[in-house]
Structure 1
């Protein structure tokens, strides 16, 4: 992203800014458009990148009372939300002010006590807690839980109780905000509050945990350390059915393209298998496109380890489509 003056300083002719591969984002602000040949990003990642670019461009001309909200704010917080159906940027303001009304902006007015405002790297946006509450009516149930999990996440260094970074908030803060006033979708927020966990490491892991719940499986431990008989750390697994020595590992794209991560994953799975654990590696296609086969694989592993189904298997449930973070 660059301004007209920056382009001129770099020796770019004015007529070059009218070329098909240059997009006019806002007054005096441009960016080069990536083509299919020079971009390998997943469509959801492309949408997130564009939201960031548009927010940076629009930020320069926002009135002082305005701030980013909705899915745009989630992107700026680097929190998981599915890609929007259009490319408009979400901008809010609290009563009696109004968000700007112009092309490319989806404006929302909030009561001041229901939309706290903060800044992140100099960018005005809604606080993470109120972001979760205000997105309640706009997200599918699974995605609302995944967003809440990301906000309260306590990312732990495996083998220790030390956190890599503090969470943005805790579950009690979300509950307090949800009940702070008359909010749209309050019933959905209260249902989601009962399902939140600070131990889920990603949105797909949250979705996988909720699938296991829907399918009537035992409650797994999340991102839990697995030790051998001598107390040596074998690894930290995404979902652990400890009583049955079954572990689920979600294989996101970063596992595949990061060589060091890939090597660590292979070593961990080898160690777990040699210690007598059954490890099921779960891909996005299995989770979102072929979840019936995934359910059967998990059920078979648990039954072979002594688990007995206590209730009839529920009907197949369709869940949200996948989305990715960079």
Structure 2
């Protein structure tokens, strides 16, 4: 059994502090302690970005804060998996940028910071703009949508527009403007956003996001993930909760019956629709739209955000 650590050491601590408290180097090398970063030990393995950031906190200097993709995730937004294993840390000059394994160091005069769980973190709108150097065009849209989501949104479209508007001439601002033209508030999942972008790139018409669907008598039937009201076509993304939650499944069956009775055609998409399968189902969507009267030449505002 490893010796008990001094009670004054927190869950995550610097090796130097532990040595000062009388802990031996042999104890600090014991596998019961994680080493998330050079010079840091933790009583637990980091399982997500929040835990990883907490693990780095003892090393964070006075003029540093979490930024870019890390700040997006700490705000409750989305970032791709490839960016989550490494922390974005920005230093305010004259502090030099952080270096070392597990850290993407940045340096900037920008210092609009708030505290999240005791950690200094870039404000969400600023963090989204910072990620223009890390994300693809599609990923920028997905990340913004995740901040503007229907339930517990972190930001408003106006806040993002104001942030981008204040960066005229800055690096990446053109990409931010292009992405901003495609974002949609009220999304429910990252998968929905990717589906919407795929439909746009396939030349399909503009779909309303999480729009109300009512019958001919005005009775509310459902919210549709992606709705094309002129042809009564709905695209629904079925996540795991639709398969694993019995109540959700029962509600889905009833909802689909109601929509069919009101003349709506529902096309369901799930995680298996990737690559060729995704292209095939988008062709099915196109055929369904055409059969219900849609013509590509009559479509307008394709790929442009419907202002709320």
**TM tier, smaller:** 0.7 to 0.9
Which of the residues 262, 267, 279 maps onto 2:254?
267
The residue aligned with 2:15 is: none
CA distance in 1, matches of 2:274, 2:122: 32
- SS of the equivalent of 1:285 reads coil
The alpha-carbon distance between structure 1 residues 226 and 32, as it changes in their structure 2 partners (threshold 3 A), is same
Structure 1 position 304 matched with structure 2 position 302:
no
TM-score (norm 2): 0.80
Contact 2:205 2:296 in 1 (8 A): no
CA distance in 1, matches of 2:101, 2:201: 42
Larger mean Cα displacement after TM superposition, 79-88 or 128-137? 79-88
Q: Structure 2, unaligned stretches of length 5 or more?
A: 11-25, 300-308
How far did residue 121 of structure 1 move?
2.3
The residue aligned with 1:44 is: none
The alpha-carbon distance between structure 1 residues 4 and 71, as it changes in their structure 2 partners (threshold 3 A), is farther
The residue aligned with 2:263 is: 276
User: With CA pairs under 8 Å and 6+ residues apart, which has the higher RCO, 1 or 2?
Assistant: 1
The residue aligned with 2:13 is: none
TM-score (norm 1): 0.76
The residue aligned with 2:44 is: 31
Which of the residues 160, 166, 169 maps onto 1:174?
160
How far did residue 78 of structure 1 move?
2.0
Structure 1 position 235 matched with structure 2 position 246:
no
Greater radius of gyration (CA): 2
Q: Deviations over 1:210-248 (max 9, x none)?
A: 222222222111101111223222111100111111111
Larger mean Cα displacement after TM superposition, 255-264 or 63-72? 255-264
Provide the alpha-carbon RMSD of the alignment. 2.8
How far did residue 86 of structure 1 move?
7.4
The aligned length equals 277
Larger mean Cα displacement after TM superposition, 190-199 or 239-248? 190-199
CA distance in 2, matches of 1:105, 1:194: 32
Q: Which contiguous aligned blocks of 4+ residues in structure 1 show a shift greater than 4 angstroms?
A: 3-6, 14-17
The residue aligned with 1:294 is: 281
